[in-house]
Structure 1
């Protein structure tokens, strides 16, 4: 049965990647949504109007992911963060953030697999997604490592402040904006700091790429806007009149997303941080 599951998984992944590339091409050939019309008419957040934000209560389940937590805080996912189906997560992520359907299937399916659940029939609580070294990883830009702070539900406001202060870009309205080099620099500093403070620190290529992927959503979905990222990363809520910056008709594909993720990760240079600290 294990071999059969692995073979099935390979075929599913090949299908998803082929499907994703086709959507990537279709996005090039079709017109994008107009501003203010990215979120579907029947979904929460349509016309730039999000459901009321309510902070989590004691006993509510939250994850290490600010965006999933925000969805629960706004009632797009169950506010208690519990008993969620993987298929419903797929649909709600698609509607809320305009990720491509391939993306919205691949990530919840990956989560179901590492939790040893069925994507098709099982349910989960948000906190379960913080299983260490699955999606959650050391060197996060918004959380202390799990070895130091086991409960990954809340952001570390000191880390968030350091990240936001890295912004060197400028939005069209003159407000600050994070750029690819800013994120690469922030990841470099964070990985060096995490290695120093966490004796159980682990790092590999997969988790580095995942860290850069998580960070890259700040550029793709939020355009790097500090005004929009501040409430998302500190309170885990949507700013007023926010909508995804990705307006592609078929959503943000994995192929398109990699055009941001790869430069972010390639720009990480921990050696330069260590050298600069040594000189200081």
Structure 2
């Protein structure tokens, strides 16, 4: 909301954690500046870089998050409210009504080992984009279109690498759910959510620049993203991470306990 007087507008901007800047109202991209907060989530950082949420990454309220996710990515309010409820726990203050992006950096709360684009906390900075880690991830994306199988392979490979070389590796069942959501995020934002595929160029541009790929022809999807959209895509990735090839019903019917072959 724009107020008619400059002084009240500046005051409101400071309360919300950013100064009011008319030149940025068109959501042009700008990188974080000195004193701005960013976190381990490339998408939240991107929304801040475009001004869909506070550009300084501070004091993100429920209203800020819901409006930003709607305006930037066309997430419906139900989904956006769920995401805010997950993020608000990062603010340690009792009964907090906002969070800052840097609060998301707390290790093993929401941020976790085996990120697609960040180093594990054990090795140092766990929230700034790491090109070496991302190169390790994208080598599994073989072709101009990234499929669910490719995304699943890169996720499993990052977990194996982290488990092998990080002596403090932690990856719980709760972590798995967050991880699946993060892996599928580029598909939700830029790809075909029904078939769970996405243009590789768009994804690489997004990760490496923390910028919406409008310069490459991307536009916000017309249909709102719902919780059902997310669940379908994450289940597709979950199924693709399985390293056995038989359907679940075939495995459950087999009398594995009677098989004497252990070789």
**Which TM-score bucket, shorter chain as reference?**
0.7 to 0.9
**Structure 2 residue corresponding to 1:234, chosen from 198, 208, 228:** 208
1:148-203 CA distance string (max 9 Å, x none) = 22441x2111222233332235xxxxxx1211000110011100000112111111
1:138 aligns with 2:104: no
The 1:61/1:114 distance shift into structure 2, 3 A limit, reads closer
The 1:50/1:66 distance shift into structure 2, 3 A limit, reads farther
- 1:252 match: 225
1:225 aligns with 2:203: no
- 1:88 match: 64
Query: Displacement, 1:76?
Result: 2.3
The 1:151/1:204 distance shift into structure 2, 3 A limit, reads closer
Output the CA distance in 2 between the equivalents of 1:117 and 1:97. 29
The 1:243/1:117 distance shift into structure 2, 3 A limit, reads farther
- 2:146 match: 178
1:156 aligns with 2:130: yes
Output the CA distance in 2 between the equivalents of 1:135 and 1:166. 25
TM-score, normalisation: structure 2: 0.73
CA contact (8 A) 2:90 2:99 kept: no
CA contact (8 A) 2:52 2:71 kept: no
Give ranges in structure 1 of 5+ residues lacking alignment: 1-48, 170-175, 273-280
- 1:102 match: 78
1:76 aligns with 2:52: yes
RMSD (Å) for aligned C-alpha atoms: 2.4
Output the CA distance in 2 between the equivalents of 1:236 and 1:185. 23
CA contact (8 A) 1:192 1:270 kept: no
Larger RCO: Structure 1 or Structure 2 (Cα < 8 Å, ≥ 6 residues apart)? 1
Give ranges in structure 2 of 5+ residues lacking alignment: 1-24, 192-197, 246-263
- 1:200 match: 168
- The structure that has the greater radius of gyration is 2
